[in-house]
Amino acid sequence: MIKWRDLFVVVYLLVSLFHFWNFQPENAYIYMLFAANFVVITLMVIYHLYIERSYSPFLSTFIVFNYLFFLVAPMTQITQMVGSEQMIFVNKFPLKEDLVIKTLILVLIFNGSFFAFYLKFKTLVFKRSVSFKTKQTTGNRSLPILSIIWLLMGLIILFANFEFIIYELNRPSWQALEISVVEGLFKTKILFVVPLSGIVITTKAIRLKTSVSNKWVLYIVLILFFVLLLVFKNPLLTKRHELGPIFFILLFLYAPKMINTNLKVCGMIFVAMLIGFPLAQLLTHVDYGAQELLYNPSLLLVEVEKGALTNGYYSLNYDAFLNIGVVIEHVSNHGLSLGYQMLSGILFFVPRAIWTGKPPSSGLIVGNTLDNDYGFSFTNVSNPFVSEAYHNFGFFGVIFFSFFLVCVIILFMKWLRSGNLFKQCTAIYFSLHLLMFLRGDFTNGMAYMGGALLSLYLLPTLAQALLNTFMFSNKKLAISK
């Protein structure tokens, strides 16, 4: 009987064959470099599913991101443009074969270096399984009280920001916020994540050996946290890069068997992003009504031939590969940033009102380049991690950034098997946030992850430590009396 991982690999190869079969660049070197990148990604897939003994949702995300954004999407975009009158991408950047080749070389160096460093340094992590139980310590007795405090804090945040929440519900996605960037980040990425951290705290408290009455109180608190989470992170309005990490944290807490192996995580992300989204688009963007499709399903094949499965790849959601070429051109004209531009990401928490000379985010630099040189007026674009590395330190930066990323992943792998639920949930969050972090830009990736780190780990850990200290000191005082 065929195994699930064998079936996944077969599907992966069939999807790849479909895209390479339809890929027809005019330059053979472009085809060869895409094939070389495909080989590196495939080696990662084989290692991840057949050889790797450690549980690593991070590598799953890394594989799917590279396969989708640096292989499938650009191949589809280039295929559509070849032979057309205007060979320009959706961001008005022209198709330049030399830049495509340089981009593919950068991606190949980055992925090759990352995989080599990952194989070398991942030996620090030995176990495959994840510990789903928190360590039992005396300090855990404060968790039920902490969950109540967290709920009160969540309710205060709700009432204090009620007008802003209503405004967000009615604001079109294209319309900018009427508040400062720092205030918007503080509200949406820190305060509005409080219900999620409250769910983690309450779940941790429920797993303790407490009385039945306390358990009922905690279950009510948990339900209220879910209601708050739905209000703060409305699934119909919240962006996918935020919903993904939240969804995986909830799976980790309540249905861990759904994501407890590399195959399950890799397969879930792969199916959702490379099969689910295109199929959903096929059903929602066809030229026929539901009744026509029901009586004549072959009409779906007509839509597939028209490119309904791949049209989504021409949107700005898949501009990562294109923007690497923009950065290469920007560096050739203006030189390397030598780390200065990265300060806006590293010091994301410093408002521009205080630091007036704060460098712009790299995504804005890419957007301004497209606006000034090619007339593309939309400047809020992505800038992948690999081009961020090249923009700052050239080819050396590409290799160094791959090493840095491996170190961060290994740190979170340790957190994932630490037994500390706060650390584990933060690590799970990062494993899905990695999609946005790799797509860029660096400043937004750091700001969003910084908010999650503060809300999911630092604040609950600090609050629990203070509460433990207060309860322990009161207990000692009572005993001494």
Tokens of 141: 């007795």
pLDDT at 53: 84
User: Does residue 54 fall inside a structural domain?
Assistant: yes
Highest mean pLDDT among 32-41, 79-88, 148-157, 279-288 belongs to 32-41
Quick one: 276 and 403 in the same domain? yes
Q: Which domain holds residue 192?
A: 138-259
User: Does residue 450 fall inside a structural domain?
Assistant: no
User: Does residue 280 fall inside a structural domain?
Assistant: yes
Phi, psi of 88 (to 5 degrees): -130, 150
Give percent above pLDDT 70 in the chain. 80
Asked if residue 209 has pLDDT above 70, the reply is no
Cis status, amide bond into 319, omega within 30 of 0: no
Asked if residue 173 has pLDDT above 60, the reply is no
Mean pLDDT of 187-210: 85
pLDDT at 34: 95
Quick one: 322 and 381 in the same domain? yes
pLDDT at 453: 92
* Per-residue pLDDT band at 40 (split at 50, 70, 90): very high
Mean pLDDT of 403-415: 94
Quick one: 353 and 225 in the same domain? no
pLDDT at 130: 45
pLDDT at 13: 93
Quick one: 344 and 217 in the same domain? no
What is the per-residue pLDDT across 310-323, written as a single tens digit (0 to 9) for each?
Answer: 666 676 778 889 89
Nearest residue to 116 (alpha-carbon basis) of 384, 402, 393: 402
Quick one: 157 and 280 in the same domain? no
Quick one: 268 and 236 in the same domain? no
| Cα 199 from Cα 230, distance rounded (Å) | 12
pLDDT at 115: 96
Q: How many CB atoms lie within 10 A of CB 37?
A: 22
| Cα 448 from Cα 426, distance rounded (Å) | 12
pLDDT at 189: 79
User: Does residue 455 fall inside a structural domain?
Assistant: no
Instruction: Say if residues 315 and 63 touch (Cβ distance below 8 Å).
Output: no
Residue type, 318: Y
Instruction: Say if residues 322 and 381 touch (Cβ distance below 8 Å).
Output: no
User: Does residue 437 fall inside a structural domain?
Assistant: no
pLDDT at 125: 59
Mean pLDDT of 141-155: 88
Longest Cα separation, the chain:
89
Decide which of 364, 379, 408 is a domain's last residue: 408
Quick one: 241 and 291 in the same domain? no
Quick one: 376 and 393 in the same domain? yes
pLDDT at 352: 78
Quick one: 299 and 227 in the same domain? no
What is the per-residue pLDDT across 56-113, written as a single tens digit (0 to 9) for each?
Answer: 999 999 999 999 999 998 998 888 777 666 778 777 888 888 999 999 999 999 999 9
User: Does residue 426 fall inside a structural domain?
Assistant: no
Asked if residue 45 has pLDDT above 80, the reply is yes
pLDDT at 32: 94
pLDDT at 128: 47
What is the per-residue pLDDT across 220-240, written as a single tens digit (0 to 9) for each?
Answer: 999 999 999 998 887 766 777
Residues 6+ positions from 124 with CB-CB distance below 8 Å? 410, 413, 414
Decide which of 216, 241, 259 is a domain's last residue: 259
pLDDT at 282: 58
Decide which of 242, 259, 276 is a domain's last residue: 259
Of 164-168, 251-255, 296-300, 398-402, the one with minimum mean pLDDT is 296-300
* Per-residue pLDDT band at 339 (split at 50, 70, 90): confident
Quick one: 217 and 153 in the same domain? yes
Mean pLDDT of 158-172: 77
Of 136-140, 157-161, 233-237, 239-243, the one with minimum mean pLDDT is 136-140
User: Does residue 435 fall inside a structural domain?
Assistant: no
Tokens of 393: 């330190």
Give percent above pLDDT 90 in the chain. 40
Quick one: 102 and 220 in the same domain? no
Nearest residue to 373 (alpha-carbon basis) of 335, 326, 337: 326
How many structural domains are present in the chain? 2
Instruction: Say if residues 273 and 64 touch (Cβ distance below 8 Å).
Output: yes
| Cα 457 from Cα 16, distance rounded (Å) | 39
User: Does residue 444 fall inside a structural domain?
Assistant: no
* Per-residue pLDDT band at 114 (split at 50, 70, 90): very high
What is the per-residue pLDDT across 346-370, written as a single tens digit (0 to 9) for each?
Answer: 888 787 778 888 888 888 888 888 8
Mean pLDDT of 359-385: 85
Mean pLDDT score of the chain: 83
| Cα 11 from Cα 47, distance rounded (Å) | 17
Distance in angstroms between the alpha carbons of the first and the last residue of the chain: 71
pLDDT at 395: 94
Quick one: 366 and 270 in the same domain? yes
Residue type, 309: L
Of 223-227, 339-343, 349-353, 439-443, the one with minimum mean pLDDT is 349-353
Instruction: Say if residues 439 and 320 touch (Cβ distance below 8 Å).
Output: yes
pLDDT at 266: 92
pLDDT at 473: 63
pLDDT at 343: 87
What is the per-residue pLDDT across 254-302, written as a single tens digit (0 to 9) for each?
Answer: 999 999 999 999 999 988 887 766 665 655 555 555 556 666 766 666 6
Residue type, 75: M
| Cα 458 from Cα 468, distance rounded (Å) | 15
pLDDT at 134: 44
pLDDT at 137: 44
pLDDT at 66: 95
Asked if residue 390 has pLDDT above 90, the reply is yes
More confident position, 325 or 234: 325
pLDDT at 399: 96
